Structures are given as structure tokens and as C-alpha cells.
Structure 1
Amino acid sequence: MAVVGTETAFEVLARVAEEERRGRRIVSFCIGEPDFPTPEAVKEAGIEAIRRNETHYSPSAGIRPLREAVAAEIARTRGVPTDPEEVVIAPGAKPILFHSLMAIAGPGDEVVYPNPGFPIYESVIRLAGATPVPLPLREEAAFSFTAEDLATRVGPRTAMVIVNSPHNPTGSVASPEALAELVRLARRHDFWILSDEIYSRILYEGEHRSPHALPGAKERTIVVDGFSKTYAMTGWRIGYGVMPRTLAGDVARLVTNAESCTATFTQHAALAALTGDQEPARRMVEAFRARRDRIVEGLNAIPGIRCLRPQGAFYVFPNVTGLVQARGLASARELQEALLTEAGVAVLSRSAFGTPAGDEDQQYVRLSYATSLEQIDEGLRRLEAYARGGAGRPGGRAWPE
């Protein structure tokens, strides 16, 4: 258990709940969850499935209609013909990541993962007994991995490379050149690609690019996607993986061992989401676009902060080195704590997204803008007041009660 990590976002969320229980108003940018409700038609499909008694076991790989719909969606959006036998449904996208690593990697293997990145990557790599190899995402490269950095980190021991585009925590999108080099190296060194595409529909410029769509990639790529972000279904716990048929059988067998199956009625709700009206999802992305523009503009107006404009997801990852230094702090982790206790603003520091890999001289925090424009404006106001020298009153009461 000593190697198993966690998600700091949930720990900070618990801190926020405790502060609010004490009567303090917190502006929270810490959790990566759409603040929109699940679309009504999707909720009704889930309720109707329960009423039809779709409350019993399903096949471990998922119900056939949903697997067919996912296969059709992959063919339509990635341009890759896909068979339902290549699809595994799981209670969220995380189990696909977990089971894929357990099926593929072990002691003696290396797994390359984006850094900074979703903290569960590094955690599960270690749990599988493999060696995590961080792939740096640098601000000067717009937080896309570079072909050069990737080439120096893969070799005969590489079992898998994990990519995430659009990316958590930076909102970046992998460049076409980097994806092409990834596939070329995968074929040369015979490793798997796990492409985490959970934010594929939350994109503000251009079309989504998947390594799965490149020549020679399908037979060695695992696409991880789901319904949590696009359809505001985080609590429904429903996701999927697309992979070669043999590996799909292995992953389904691990689902049998770990979860038995995914809740049947949530699969029917997911089917309605995927095949029904896409207007709620489109409107949500447009709202995120407006929020992105507001928060980027506001952050760049605050002394000591600079922020790139993200291309996807609903996160910004500003450089706060100047603010950390101006306030006499040692790190972004200390800034995270100071903002919560003195300014009533919850953010996550760079340390929440993987062991630092050579970027310790620069300090970053992540803010999720999956919240209202009013909350964004209030959070920016508090951040600016803190940056310009505002200090907490006795008892840490630096914000409205």
C-alpha cells in the first residue's frame, strides 16, 4: 500500500467542505467536475431502465447495444473501423487504465507517463510493479510532449506510453508531430500506447487528434474514454476502453475479477447519451469556452502570474513563480495552503500532478473553471487582492462570512 497514491483534489475538496461547514465562503477551483446537471434525456433513460428492471448483472464487457454504439462512435470520430468485441465498458474510465496496466506491465517493465499529469497514472504504474518514467510537459512547448523528449525515454524495457490529450492539468493538446513520433517509436520498440481521451469532446480549436487513427497504431493502442466529462455524468461511473480484441478479452476478465460488471442501468443511460441529442454537450463546451477566456484574461492581469490559453478540457495551469517569490513562499504547495486559509480560494499545486521532473525552478497551480462566471470573477478578485499584498485577518477570516 505504500506505493499507492491518491488524488489531492479530493483531499482539498474535503478541506473546502470543512471550511464551509465552519461558515466560511470558499471559491473552489480544485475539482475537475462539470457543474452542469446530467442532461434530462439521459437521466430519464437511466430511470426508465430501472423501471424495466435493468438492475441485474450484465456481461463483464458491457451490454451489446452500448458496445455497438461506442464502436460506431470511434469509427465516426477517429476514422477507425471498430468491432464491438474491441470495446470494454467499465464503471468509469479509471478501471480501464488500471486493468490495462495490470494486464500489460509488471516488474522489469517501464511505463512512460505525462508529467505533470493525472496522478493515478504514476500510482497504478507503481502498483503494477513497473517503473514509472516521467515524460516532461514544458510551458515553453505549450505543455505538449516533444518528439525529442519521448525518444530519449523509450527503449527495449518500455511496455507502455500513456498520453492524455486534451490534457489534465494543463488543458494542452498534443501536437500532430508528437503523436506521429509516438506511433513510429511504438512500432519500432513494440510497446503499447494508452491514449486517455476523456476530454476529447471538450475542445475549443480544431479537431480532436488521436494516435489511434494513425497508420499502424490500432493494433497497439488502447483508447480510454467515457461519459463523465462530456455528459456531466461523473457520479454515474461509466467509461470504456477500445483495444485489440485479445486484450479486450483480458481486460474483460479482469473486470470479472474486480467489479463483475458495470451497473446495467447506467449503461442504458450512457447509450442514450451517446446516441441522443448532443446539444446539451455542445452548450456546455461553449460555456466552458467563455469561462476559459474570462479566467485566462483575469489571471494574466494579476501580478506574478502568467497563464497560457488552454486548447481543451476545463483547466488552466498558470505559472505562479513570481507570486510565490513575491509573497516569500517556498513553493506552489505553500501558495495553495495560503490561498485557502488567507484568501478563501482553493487551487491545486503542481505537486498534486506527479513527482516533479526537472521543473522545480518554476511553480504552477491548477484551477478548474468548471464553475460559474460569478465564482470565477470572485475568485479572481480574491487572488488579485492576495497578490497585491492583502493579508488574512486574525483567525484566517480574509473573505466574506
Structure 2
Amino acid sequence: GDGGASLPGVPGEILDRAAALQHQHGSAYDMPYGTDLFRKAVVEDYWKLTPASGLGPENVLATVGGRDALVRAYDAMLALGHGRTGDLIVVTRVPWISYNWGPYGVGANVLLAPGSAGDGWAYTEDALQACAESAARLGRKIAGVIITSPDNPTGKDLSPERQAALGKAALRLGAAFVLYDWMYHTVTDHAPMDLNAFAAAFDAGERPRLMFLDGLTKSLGASNIRSAHLIASAEVVRYLTARASHAVIPPFYGTAVAMAAYQAGFLEVARAINEPTSASRAVMRRFVAEHGLTAILDQGYYAFLHVGKWLEKRGWKDSEPLGEYLAEQHGLAVVPGAYFSSFGGEWIRFSYATPPARTLGAARRLMEGLDALVAG
């Protein structure tokens, strides 16, 4: 899942332009939200936000990658939501590891929503209702709901209309905030999210309760650049800016890389990641079909593969030892689904964010490893 290692990463000319911006800008302290230059680039060059969206530069906060943005968001959800420590962050049944761990560090609890493997554990309105009822039984309230599309680890992709419907349902059921994690939204076979159109689906009372996360880690393979941004209400951004004054202030260079990419035409710059990943996605879909595998394989970086029958034959209770076996015996890196939650115990996350030939080679090595596992 590291496009900076398995793919070309950020183009050299973008890194050079960012270095020139750093040189021009100097090395004095910046504001805790980043810089006005970065905010302007996010609003005008990247999202191309219009006044009708209700969003402008004052709604943008630079962060040190996606995890930093999430921890800040959890903090704001607790403080500005119901104002209670210990309230709940709702995530899907098989969530990204950092969704499972991050909230506890700022005093939140995590609630896994009901879901089924056949639908990639995607949220439903009934599942969100069940979360609200569970929260009430626990004496808690829902501080935030995280909606990720395409998803990590499953790759499950939701239409903009479905994402909006789920967000509106969560707010209606009492969630203080809904955060949309769109870190993979440009790594797809379809158009990226249109924040102007998406914001229009919500009324004036709902919009201040929305947050949007995006960044360069996946879209440009900028894994060690640590550049992301959070878009939220002015109240949330002011709160987080004040907190950042005494915590983490984003370095200028990461925002400079983003500005350079945005101003050069982001989708064109991102082709170095998106085109090989898209080609590999097609290769992987054919491979899955040819081998009769059960997979969640929508968009983003990942295929989530069911390996239950091999685990059962081997006598392993979940996929954790399989990850170690594949790495040590077959030179293949996968992430056991058991690491995400017990509900992913019979699954593995397989990254196809590599050139197509390498993806096909890795898929073949996976099958060789699985077959050798039960033959031995």
C-alpha cells in the first residue's frame, strides 16, 4: 500500500518546484493552519470551490498526513460535538487499523457498525440506526462517523449519492459530525469526487457538521511527504488551529508539494500513480475470476481476498500466520485481515498499486503459496 515504493511516487519536477517554493518562502514560522497560499491553492486550484459550496480558505487546515488529520478531527468531534470525553467514533466492521487505534489516544471510543462481507461491510441506514441504539444502551453518544470511499482495507467504493445518503442518515440519528475520508478518491476508474456538487446535497444546518479529508499519500505516492488537508466548518478549523499552536504545526514543504501538484493540474500529475494502478486493477479482476476467488475489488489500492478455505485446511484460526508464512516462504507482502478486526479474520489485503506485470506476478505467487500451504 505504499505508492511511493511500489510506483514512481511524486514526479521529480513537482519535488523540484516545491523546493523552489520553499526557497522563496523562507524558513520562518507559518500559521498553525499552514499558509494562506496553501489554503488558496486547495480552494481554487484543487477543489475549485464556488461560493455556493459555502466553503472557502477559512475552511482549510493543513495537516501532517492523513493520520494527523484524523486525530485532530476526533479531538474536534469530542470537544465541539456533544462535549463529552468517551463518546463514540463509528467505523465499518473491518476498519483501517488507524481508525481502530487513533480515537483512543484522544479519549474517544470506537464502535464497529454492523455489516456483511457480501457487501464489503458497507454501512447501511439500518446499521447506523443500530449504532445509535447501541450508543444509547452504553450511555454514550456518537461523536463522529467515518465514511471512506474507496475504502481501506477493502477497496469498497460508494457512489457520491450513497455517501451523501449515509452521511445524512448519520446526522439525523444524532452523530455530531461525519468525516468523509477521500484519500483514495483520485485512484479510481471513474471521476474523482466533486466537492461543489457533494456539498449541495446537504442543507445549511448539516454542512457545518461535515469534514473532508484528502491528501497526497495515495494519490501521488507521497508517503513520506506527509501532506494532507482537512476541510471543515470555520468553527472546527479555528478550534484545531488553536490546538495546533501548542502541538503540531505542519511543515511548509509538504504543503509546497501539494501546491506544486495542484497548480500543475493535479489529475495529470497523478497519472503516474493512477494509470498503472488502474491497469493492475483490471489484471487483478481477471485473475480473481479465472481462479474463482472471492474478493472485494472495487477501486483504490486494494483487493480484499477471502482465504478461509486454505486457513481451514491448514487449521489456522485466522489469517495472521498466513501473512508471516507468505512473507517468509514466498516473498509476498500482504496484510492479514485479522489485523483490522476479527471480522476480517478469513481475509487478506492485497495491494495492486504496482505495475501490472508485478501485480500479476504477485497474484501468481499468492496462489502458489496458498496451494503449497495445504499440500505440505
Q: Classify the TM-score, shorter chain.
A: 0.7 to 0.9
Aligned counterpart for 2:356 among listed residues 373, 388, 401: 373
TM-score, normalised by the number of residues in structure 2: 0.86
Identity of aligned residues (%): 21
- In terms of fraction of residues, the more helix-rich structure is 2
Aligned counterpart for 1:272 among listed residues 251, 254, 260: 260
- Could you tell me whether the CA contact under 8 Å between 2:39 and 2:60 is conserved in 1? yes
Please state if 1:92 is matched with 2:65. Answer: yes
User: What's the counterpart of residue 23 of structure 2?
Assistant: 51
Match for 2:171: what amino acid? A
- CA change 1:267–1:297 in 2 (3 A) is same
Structure 1 residue 136 displacement after superposition: 4.0
- CA change 1:178–1:40 in 2 (3 A) is closer
Describe the superposition over 1:112-143 as per-residue Cα deviations: whole angstroms up to 9, x where unpaired. 11231221122122222222111245331244
Higher mean Cα deviation, 379-388 or 78-87? 78-87
Aligned counterpart for 2:148 among listed residues 147, 164, 170: 164
TM-score, normalised by the number of residues in structure 1: 0.81
User: What's the counterpart of residue 370 of structure 2?
Assistant: 387
- Could you tell me whether the CA contact under 8 Å between 2:216 and 2:258 is conserved in 1? yes
CA distance in 2, matches of 1:267, 1:54: 14
Question: Aligned ranges for residues 2-401 of structure 1 at < 5 Å?
Answer: 31=2, 33=4, 35-52=7-24, 54-72=26-44, 73-76=46-49, 80-105=53-78, 106-154=84-132, 157-175=141-159, 176-177=161-162, 179-205=164-190, 208=193, 212-216=199-203, 217-259=206-248, 261-277=249-265, 278-302=267-291, 305-310=293-298, 312-353=299-340, 355-356=341-342, 359=343, 363-389=346-372
CA distance in 2, matches of 1:66, 1:352: 36
Match for 1:165: what amino acid? S
User: What's the counterpart of residue 17 of structure 1?
Assistant: none
Match for 1:154: what amino acid? A
- Could you tell me whether the CA contact under 8 Å between 1:56 and 1:264 is conserved in 2? no
Q: Secondary structure at the match of 1:94?
A: helix
- Could you tell me whether the CA contact under 8 Å between 2:9 and 2:273 is conserved in 1? no
- CA change 1:107–1:32 in 2 (3 A) is farther
Describe the superposition over 1:2-21 as per-residue Cα deviations: whole angstroms up to 9, x where unpaired. xxxxxxxxxxxxxxxxxxxx
CA distance in 2, matches of 1:269, 1:125: 28
CA distance in 1, matches of 2:59, 2:339: 33
- CA change 1:225–1:46 in 2 (3 A) is same
CA distance in 2, matches of 1:110, 1:346: 33
Describe the superposition over 1:285-316 as per-residue Cα deviations: whole angstroms up to 9, x where unpaired. 1221110111232244447x322331x21111
Q: Secondary structure at the match of 1:388?
A: helix
Structure 1 residue 247 displacement after superposition: 0.9
Q: Secondary structure at the match of 1:389?
A: helix
- CA change 1:292–1:254 in 2 (3 A) is same
- Could you tell me whether the CA contact under 8 Å between 2:2 and 2:218 is conserved in 1? no
Structure 1 residue 242 displacement after superposition: 0.5
Match for 1:370: what amino acid? A
- Could you tell me whether the CA contact under 8 Å between 1:199 and 1:229 is conserved in 2? yes
- CA change 1:190–1:381 in 2 (3 A) is closer
- Could you tell me whether the CA contact under 8 Å between 2:277 and 2:356 is conserved in 1? no
Q: Secondary structure at the match of 1:271?
A: helix
Q: Which runs of 5 or more structure 1 residues have no equivalent in the other structure?
A: 1-29, 394-401
- Could you tell me whether the CA contact under 8 Å between 1:147 and 1:178 is conserved in 2? no
Structure 1 residue 37 displacement after superposition: 2.8
CA distance in 2, matches of 1:203, 1:163: 17
Q: Secondary structure at the match of 2:171?
A: helix
- Could you tell me whether the CA contact under 8 Å between 1:112 and 1:162 is conserved in 2? yes
Structure 1 residue 180 displacement after superposition: 0.8
Q: Secondary structure at the match of 2:74?
A: helix
CA distance in 2, matches of 1:31, 1:319: 22
Cα RMSD of the aligned pairs, angstroms, is 2.7
User: What's the counterpart of residue 13 of structure 1?
Assistant: none
CA distance in 1, matches of 2:237, 2:23: 31
- CA change 1:108–1:368 in 2 (3 A) is same
